[in-house]
Amino acid sequence: MIVSALAAGLCLAGAASPAFAKGGAKADRFDGNWSVEVITESGACDRAYRYGVIIQNGQARYAGGGDFTVSGRVQPSGGVRATISRGDAAAQVVGRLTADGGGNGTWTTSGSTACKGRWNAERRG
């Protein structure tokens, strides 16, 4: 299901453009293990998910396996904007990670299942 991919890969993937350090911000300051909770607020997607995500060099990936396509990066500012897809379904994710190890934002799907909701993240390592 696309929401699985959303939680796993995209919640922490950021904008597809390269991340540039501003004012000394490091592109990899969000690297590490994160736990992401995805909550569906409307649509026929499952109510909630929690998944592990690994961020390395500003790029996010699901801590498990999967047949999802993830595109995007976490910006040095913590900004998150990304897309994940599986088959004809796709999810758009926006939000922000914070230096204190948290983050949140929103997501929407398109394709055969239309859903939207919010996500929360916590650094785990």
DSSP 30: T
Average pLDDT over residues 2-27: 44
Q: Is residue 11 scored above 80 in pLDDT?
A: no
What pLDDT does 30 receive? 93
With H, G, I as helix, E, B as strand and everything else as coil, classify residue 47. Answer: coil
What pLDDT does 12 receive? 46
What pLDDT does 10 receive? 41
Which tens digit of pLDDT belongs to each residue from 78-93?
998 877 777 777 889 8
CA distance 53 to 55: 7
With H, G, I as helix, E, B as strand and everything else as coil, classify residue 2. Answer: helix
Which tens digit of pLDDT belongs to each residue from 31-58?
999 998 889 999 988 899 888 888 888 8
Q: Which domains does the chain have, with CATH numbers?
A: 2-123 (2.40.128.120)
Q: Is 100 or 20 the better-scoring residue by pLDDT? A: 100
Q: Is residue 119 scored above 90 in pLDDT?
A: yes
With H, G, I as helix, E, B as strand and everything else as coil, classify residue 10. Answer: helix
What pLDDT does 86 receive? 74
